[in-house]
């Protein structure tokens, strides 16, 4: 079996179109690898915040992710493409609206169209877009083993060290040199 050409294995994503204040705006379908790594950090933090919080929020996610402002700005520029100023005008310079657009695009790039639509249609309210905390925790437990507890590594018993305080080597203690 030989490797197929990359163009045959992964296709370039089509742009996403969002209806914003009566106008349909097209956003880039792909982002750079650097932006993807920043997005992974943010989405990892989002998962933690969503699991641990009764009312998850974007600000809590950003705080947990610890992403520098320069990286966040780079990611935003990547997902908005060349329409950032147009989005500001369409959103009537309303931060909440702008955040909904940006965060929906983050969800789309990381989780796909269906999740992005749910997030968008919930107005960016994670509480509406996601099940409540108890349901999320149960869902997380159902994917683990051992009665809902995550699998744990079993500790191996420590072998007793031989007299003399040196560590064993091939089952034998290395003799200590006498001070002299």
Range from 81-95, 146-160, 164-178 carrying the lowest mean pLDDT: 146-160
* The pLDDT of residue 152 is above 50: no
* Spans of all domains in the chain: 20-142
Distance CA 42, CA 159 (A): 43
Long-range contacts of 85-91 (CB under 8 A, 24+ apart): 86/25, 87/20, 87/25, 90/20, 90/21, 90/23, 90/25, 91/20, 91/21
Q: Which two tokens stand for residue 42?
A: 């943010």
Confidence of residue 177 (pLDDT cuts 50, 70, 90): low
Q: Which two tokens stand for residue 153?
A: 């590594």
User: HSE of 10 in the Cβ direction (CA atoms, 13 Å)?
Assistant: 4
pLDDT at position 150 = 37
Confidence of residue 128 (pLDDT cuts 50, 70, 90): low
Per-residue pLDDT of 33-78, as tens digits, reads 999 999 998 888 877 877 777 766 666 776 777 888 889 889 999 9
The chain-wide mean pLDDT, for the chain, equals 75
């Amino acid at each position: 079996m030989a490797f197929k050409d990359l163009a045959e294995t992964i296709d370039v994503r089509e742009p996403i179109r969002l209806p914003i204040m009566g106008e349909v705006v097209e956003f880039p379908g792909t982002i750079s690898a650097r932006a993807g790594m920043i997005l992974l950090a943010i989405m990892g933090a989002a998962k933690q915040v969503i699991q641990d919080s009764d009312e998850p929020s974007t600000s809590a996610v950003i705080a947990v992710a610890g992403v520098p402002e320069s990286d966040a700005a780079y990611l935003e520029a990547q997902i908005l493409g060349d329409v950032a100023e147009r989005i500001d005008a369409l959103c009537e310079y309303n931060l909440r609206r702008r955040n909904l657009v940006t965060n929906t695009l983050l969800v789309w790039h990381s989780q796909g169209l269906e999740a992005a639509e749910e997030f968008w249609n919930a107005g960016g309210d994670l509480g509406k877009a996601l099940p409540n905390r108890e349901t999320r925790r149960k869902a997380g437990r159902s994917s683990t083993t051992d009665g809902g507890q995550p699998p744990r590594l079993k500790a191996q018993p420590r072998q007793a060290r031989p007299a003399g305080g040196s560590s064993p080597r091939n089952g034998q203690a290395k003799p200590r040199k006498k001070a002299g």
